[in-house]
Structure 1
Amino acid sequence: MRLTTTFAALALLATPAGAQERITYKSAKAGSSYYQMGVELAEAMGDVANVTVEESQGSVQNVMEVRARGADYVFTTPPALVSAAQNAAGPFEDKGDPAFAEIRALFPIPSLTMHFVASEESGVATLSDLSGKTVLLGAGSFGAREGEKYLGMFEIDANVADAELSNAVGALQNGQIDAFVTAGSYPAPNVIEAAATTGVRLIPLTEEQVEATGRTRLVIPAGTYSGQETDIVTTSLPVLAYATSAMSEDTAYALTRAYWEGREDLAGTAAWWAGVSPEMIANASTAIHPGAVRYYQEIGVELPAL
């Protein structure tokens, strides 16, 4: 069943006859993979829901706007930021607001996945092999910050290249760097390009390294990238779609059900949707919307005790 058809049927549960659900979906900067995901969801819902995809300057902004938004607001952010907002911690220190307590999880979207990508010529097979090698991290992104943290945490004495991540594939092809670090939903476009044009190896993390980072364990399945013959254990930052308690239970149920029943169609258009499963709702660290809870219970998904 096509996602548009699913929403057409389910919209009748959430709206009066003849009405069209209005949703504002706010995720990321225009041109990013997460903004593109929003566009894909909006297009799938277009026949029955009037979806406005709004550009965002980041997840913190998405959460902050809960204070001024209504029942139609859906946004994406890592679960840890919702917890921080509700506890007036981190970027929300001295910015607490009662509205943050009303945030409710709906469904997971593709996670930010750490990729450590090395040229085959470099001989790099493990993180420790990066010592003495030239590694491009980029600057300002989650992947750059996380990559720098891992180099320090695991005492890897690498030469960090001073260049933008957009130059990574070309620099790897030209032998200017031995490896680069990037974070994005898999399959990541720059890793696809590198694997297709240059012999590369994805560097796995050990279970001990994953645990040390404090991040969520994730496996990039074998065959995700050209030449990748084995599963790659790495870390990730889960990302979920949220609404607030102002959204009706029927609307939250309809959106959640339609998302999962249409996920296969979405994955046929963009492969990053294939890496999402209902069980990933367990990454929610705060309350799940009652409408979403009803759907997960119907399909037998075990929910976290929150």
Structure 2
Amino acid sequence: MTLKTCLITGTLTSAMLVTAAAQADRDDWPDNFTVGTASQGGTYFVYGSGWANLIADELGLSGGGEVTGGPNQNLALVHNGEVALGLTTMGPAADAVAGKSVLAPGVPMDNVCALFPMYETPFTIAALSDSGIESISDIPDGASIGFGPAASTSDTYFPKILKELGVNFDRRNGGWTDLGGQLQDGLIDVIAFAAGIPVPAISQLEVQTDVNLIEFTEKQQTQILEEFPVSPFQIPASTYQTLEEDARSVAMWNFTIAGCDLPEDLVYEITKLSMENNDKMMDIHRSAKFSVPENIKYNTVLPFHPGAVRWYEENGYEIPDDLKL
């Protein structure tokens, strides 16, 4: 056998071994996967569906996003193994871990692991300009307010926030797009959404009619920060064409989640793909600008999946011991 033949044979053998190893690593991977998102017209649906497509395309898997009731339901679906991946906010996550989920009170959800940070969810209030509602104090007694899908982060926290601020209202639930349409048609008075910005339903409203984006006063913001698991936030004026200057609000962080029993190699590859390709993530939704590993510090509730921990530690990011399985 000539030296050239030996080299070619050795190279082919090495390639076959690498391919075999890669195939072996996938032996316990599921045949397909689903990402729990939220209702259409919201950021979760856009972000989650796009992320699912990115995973499927890049890793050669079959998968996609699924319309759900949002963070609370996603936690339950992932915990029960009904979907592999999902999106949630830290408030509902803390409740779920403590067994205080509105969907499963008394059941600690211990099969939910964090993957990576997504973005902050600002709380946004809007009304039609011709309603005369320009501030929270302008909201009339008994106004009908759409809070998004039942049991969503928006529906869980926004009604409590407005009650804390002394607003008396008639509560309405529905998909983001549907409630935006109801506002435009005069069927409800206000929409109060907790969703990544820009909220697609509000952006669509701006194209079709005049809208007032309503901010919290400094006093109202301080009052909310003292009572709820949120942080101060400024909605940039560039977010919506309606805004002439930044709007004062509050926000809650979002993280992607996975069943803790998913294969470590699969979750490692998903985390690697998501954290090393922020340009592709931003092509999905511009809020993914904040989907970077530096923001893992905002999860103090859920354990990180071992596959995610491996990627973070390989790349110099420290995961606290109490957030490891």
Q: TM-score range by the shorter chain?
A: 0.7 to 0.9
**Gapped runs of 5+ residues in structure 2?**
1-17
The one-letter code matched in structure 1 to 2:53 is E
Match status 1:75 vs 2:89: no
Q: Is 1:16 aligned to residue 23 of structure 2? A: yes
For residues 168 and 60 of structure 1, what CA distance do their matches in structure 2 show? 20
Given that 2:237 and 2:245 are in contact with CA atoms closer than 8 Å, whether structure 1 keeps it comes out as yes
SS of the residue corresponding to residue 116 of structure 1 reads strand
Q: Computing the radius of gyration over CA atoms, which structure comes out larger, 1 or 2?
A: 2
Task: Give me the whole-angstrom Cα distance separating, in 2, the residues matched to 1:184 and 1:160.
Answer: 21
The answer to whether structure 1 residue 204 and structure 2 residue 220 are counterparts is no
In the aligned structure 1, how far is the partner of 2:73 from the partner of 2:132? 42
Name the counterpart of 2:166. 155
Query: Which residue of structure 2 lines up, in the alignment, with residue 42 of structure 1?
Result: 52
Equivalent residues of 2:74, 2:86 under 8 A apart:
yes
Residue 126 in structure 1 maps to residue 135 in structure 2: yes
Q: Matched residues in 1 for 2:88 and 2:80: separation?
A: 17
Cα offsets for 1:117-149 (capped at 9, x unmatched): 134455544322335595532575333454432
Aligned residues: 290
After superposition, what is the alpha-carbon deviation per residue over 1:206-234, rounded to whole angstroms, capped at 9, x for unaligned? 33044044132243222111132322332
Q: Is the 8 A contact 1:187 1:224 kept in 2?
A: yes
Report SS of the residue matched to 1:101: coil
The Cα shift of 1:250 comes to: 4.1
Match in the other structure for 2:283: 268
TM-score, scaled to structure 2: 0.69
> What SS does the corresponding residue of 1:223 show, helix, strand or coil?
helix
- Give ranges in structure 1 of 5+ residues lacking alignment: 1-10
Q: Cα RMSD between the aligned structures?
A: 4.0
Deviation at 1:30, TM superposition (A): 6.5
Conserved 8 A contact 1:27-1:77: no
Q: 1:166-214 deviations in whole A, cap 9, x for unaligned?
A: 5655665577766432232221122102223333332222330440441
The aligned counterpart of 1:8 is none
Q: 1:239 aligns with which of 242, 254, 259?
A: 254
TM-score, normalised on structure 1?
Answer: 0.72
Q: Is the 8 A contact 1:104 1:286 kept in 2?
A: yes
Share of identical aligned residues, percent?
Answer: 22
Q: 1:44, CA displacement in angstroms?
A: 1.6
- Matched AA of 1:219: Q
Q: 1:103 aligns with which of 100, 103, 112?
A: 112
Question: Contact 1:137/1:180 (CA < 8 Å) preserved in 2?
Answer: yes
